Chains A and B, each alone.
Chain A
């Protein structure tokens, strides 16, 4: 006997929360066969699942390994569903440029933020790790980014964030883009002192913070016109 749509959706969400790749892919295949909306399954249900994962991470029930497993499960599902997705009809998504600052190769945190933001519907341009200052500036320009997010996991590389913000000011882009910073040693005080707009306390908080900043930015832009 085949499962109901609701059961398939629940199985998909559970597989992601449990970090079970095979189960997520299997539920996705079942969903395709049952004719469920692939786009909705990814953005809505996949998003819901990651929200549960975020919450567990926030309450320290989950740690980075569990979140990585969940993200892999989501990706396994997305891979199955992507060919079946109809084009999105939603509003133009905001663009976020992400990167780990020059000299730093620790990208777990940045990758988590990327997963969270992508599953929340943002267009994410991932520059990877050890990103030169100029490359970050170029990416902001070329992609007409709304938000730039940078992370540093070492106290020795944190100061580079200040350089990036300085460079944005130099090319007169600082007003056009919001800056979020993150990484183990990055404190809110430090973020404020270098003129960043926000320092979400972890990857899960990054979604809410980024949404707020984008809204603020769009209002500022509307105000100027």
Chain B
């Protein structure tokens, strides 16, 4: 029998085929970087977001230091906005970069250059992905993260303004802007897949149901996501922050392979609603368990999530930078010794 590599395991688990894997995967498709890893790899924020060597070392640390079964790039959600002209606050060792200014005053000002994936830090990301592939072969999966269309719209237009437009502008115009951003995401993924990435994580934190109605999600976001699912050409996991329970009836229609749920969504409930339409990944709360809990508490949550049927064991959101290695490793330990229930 062929060896079950972490790469095969992750691809099986995130596409809803965990029964064919030897055990559950703990490939974290969200932000993996912690201060401990930065110190161990001598690759601190904010420099590791911009320097190729440091970015490589910090990406590799997910596996080398913690044992997470995959690499994920980049660490922040600003690559798209930066390439489109937004100014970025680069943060510091325990603070992720964030978008400081918006660039488009109106929906019709949105212009995405043809060569967008050659701009900003896109090429840097592909270079590091290629280097990881070269050095680790096919053993571990490489996750290309893209910032989802709604979140990028919030970055380039300003989130409040864009929210108001969802009510005041013709829905077709709003959808069209999101579609254009999605095309940039698709072009990015295609380049990343050529550079060595195996799978895609769309992080669209702003599309949370704390902000948007399930009806808007169904009528506007789902068609935009369907377009992405059709064109990307690799397994896709989508992460949306907050309590997304109200999206569960529609999330399976996106055509994505997996839905990464935040701590406010119950794994068992999610599994029950989506059935076999889409895999559910996540399960370990970042704040109560990983950041402020103990290894025992992390194990407790992780075991519970597996019992409830989670398809891939991951933190419920991007990891807080001050999370201890001890706690983070406890998640990996559970995946290593557990199959699925």
Query: Are A and B part of the same complex?
Result: yes
- Known contacts A184-B241, A185-B287; is A72 also within 8 Å of B164 by CB? yes
- B166 surroundings in chain A (CB, below 8 A): 65
Interface segment out of the listed B92-100, B134-142, B302-310, B333-341: B92-100
Q: Which of A66, A154, A187 contacts B318 (CB 8 A)?
A: A154
- Known contacts A69-B164, A105-B99; is A187 also within 8 Å of B91 by CB? no
- Known contacts A108-B163, A155-B318, A155-B320; is A103 also within 8 Å of B210 by CB? no
- A33 surroundings in chain B (CB, below 8 A): none
CB distance from A54 to the nearest CB of B (A): 15
Among B313-341, those with CB < 8 Å from A are 316-322
Bound complex: CA A15 to CA B262 (Å): 36
Among B252-307, those with CB < 8 Å from A are 262-264, 286-288, 291-292
- A193 surroundings in chain B (CB, below 8 A): 292
- Known contacts A66-B167, A185-B241, A190-B288; is A108 also within 8 Å of B318 by CB? no
Kindly report which residue of chain A lies nearest to residue B243, judged by CB atoms: A184
Q: Which of B96, B168, B211 contacts A108 (CB 8 A)?
A: B211
Q: Which of A60, A154, A185 contacts B263 (CB 8 A)?
A: A185
Bound complex: CA A68 to CA B216 (Å): 16
Contact B242–A185 (Cβ < 8 Å):
yes
- A108 surroundings in chain B (CB, below 8 A): 159-160, 163, 211
CB distance from B213 to the nearest CB of A (A): 4
- A69 surroundings in chain B (CB, below 8 A): 164, 167-168
Contact B317–A159 (Cβ < 8 Å):
no
- A64 surroundings in chain B (CB, below 8 A): 163, 210-212
Q: Which of A63, A153, A159, A189 has the most CB of B within 10 A?
A: A63
Kindly report which residue of chain A lies nearest to residue B91, judged by CB atoms: A103
For the residues of B in contact with A, the DSSP-based class is: loop
- B209 surroundings in chain A (CB, below 8 A): 63
Asked if B208 is at the interface (CB within 8 A of a chain A CB), the reply is yes
Bound complex: CA A106 to CA B96 (Å): 13
Bound complex: CA A150 to CA B238 (Å): 29
Question: How does the 8 Å CB contact mask read for B193-214 relative to A, with 1 for contact and 0 for none?
Answer: 0000000000001001111110
Kindly report which residue of chain B lies nearest to residue A111, judged by CB atoms: B160
Q: Which residues of A contact B (CB under 8 A)?
A: 19, 60, 63-66, 68-69, 72, 103, 105-106, 108-109, 111, 130, 153-156, 158-159, 184-185, 187, 189-190, 193
* Pairs A–B under 8 Å by Cβ, sample size 18: A63-B213, A63-B216, A64-B210, A68-B164, A72-B164, A103-B91, A103-B96, A103-B98, A105-B100, A108-B160, A109-B210, A155-B286, A155-B318, A156-B96, A156-B319, A156-B320, A159-B320, A184-B264
Q: Which residues of B contact A (CB under 8 A)?
A: 31, 89, 91, 95-96, 98-100, 159-160, 163-164, 166-168, 205, 208-213, 216, 241-243, 246, 262-264, 286-288, 291-292, 316-322
